[in-house]
Amino acid sequence: MRCSWRWATVGIVISGIASSSEAQAQEDRAEVFRSSHRMVESPQHFAAELRFSPFLADVDSDPLLRGQTPFADIFGASKTIMFSGELDWQAVRIPHLGTFGPGASFGYAMFSGNASITGTNQASAETTSLEIYPMYVVGVLRGDALWRELRIPVVPYLKFGVAAALWRASNTVGTSYYEGTAGRGYTLGTQLALGVSFNLNVLDDIAARSFDEDVGVNGTYIFGEWTRADLTGLGFQSDPLRVGGTYWTMGIAFEF
């Protein structure tokens, strides 16, 4: 998996460079057009991401389960799609490197399966689910110098910070209960992500500039990211429900 991602990254870089050359040609051809338009780039302070992550929670990694797999038993091994959004403030620009600033994210994922008939391994027709609302606050370092100074449309980035996830287990009646305790809570942890963004501006520079003039978006990116949400309590919680995981994320980002 990691190998294939490496090749994908190389592919993106190569195609980006090629597209960059082509884009340069387009820029030349559009010089006349540009001359009649203002060429002032709008200020850039933020980045927003729409994120999609095939996700499988690490619930069964709890050592107290002693090898039992209640999560897999109910929900199976199929991943669900986590939807999330992230907003970063590019507070500081580091010369010849990129930007750095805080970012925050909020997402949603749900696992659903059939409850088992008590005392058996037979699935019932009753649905049970686990909803997870992951969120985090991270520091984001974006190395956009490649793009800004060398016109290579690739922006690697690093994110690290603290995370939390609200979760809720339910059945057909509503929130699950066991011995008087509601099946809902939160789990603390850390968030680490490494990713690469590909700047789509190179594909149509004129459109990109128009997008900037009209809406103020300086750059549009697609990105791929390796993410580790280590939601194991952050040392403050004992034996929390482990609703984090390690997963890949794809998405689209806008800098503005």
Interface residue list for other proteins (CB under 8 A): 38, 40, 42-43, 46, 48, 59, 62, 64-65, 68, 70-71, 73-75, 85, 87, 104, 106, 108, 111, 113, 115-120, 122, 124-126, 128-131, 133, 135, 166-172, 176-179, 181-188, 213-216, 233, 237-241, 256
Q: What's the min distance (Å) between Cβ of 127 and other proteins?
A: 9
Q: What's the min distance (Å) between Cβ of 205 and other proteins?
A: 17
* CA neighbor of 55 nearest in space, from 77, 28, 37: 77
Shorter beta-carbon distance to other proteins: residue 30 or 115 = 115
Shorter beta-carbon distance to other proteins: residue 54 or 185 = 185
Copy the structure tokens of residue 148: 């800004």
Shorter beta-carbon distance to other proteins: residue 20 or 84 = 84
Is residue 30 helix, strand or coil? coil
* CA neighbor of 221 nearest in space, from 246, 195, 194: 195
Shorter beta-carbon distance to other proteins: residue 28 or 214 = 214
Q: What's the min distance (Å) between Cβ of 39 and other proteins?
A: 9
* CA neighbor of 144 nearest in space, from 211, 90, 209: 90
Shorter beta-carbon distance to other proteins: residue 8 or 215 = 215
Instruction: For residue 30, give Cα distances in angstroms to 16, 209, 220.
Output: 20, 12, 20
Shorter beta-carbon distance to other proteins: residue 31 or 179 = 179
Q: What's the min distance (Å) between Cβ of 33 and other proteins?
A: 17
Burial of residue 38 (number of CB atoms within 10 Å: 0-12, 13-18, 19+): exposed
Q: What's the min distance (Å) between Cβ of 19 and other proteins?
A: 26
Q: Given CA atoms 101, 7, 224, 254 in this order, what sign does their dihedral have?
A: positive
- The type of residue at 99 is T
Is residue 12 helix, strand or coil? helix
Q: What's the min distance (Å) between Cβ of 118 and other proteins?
A: 4
Task: Report the distance separating Cα 155 and Cα 158, nearest Å.
Answer: 10
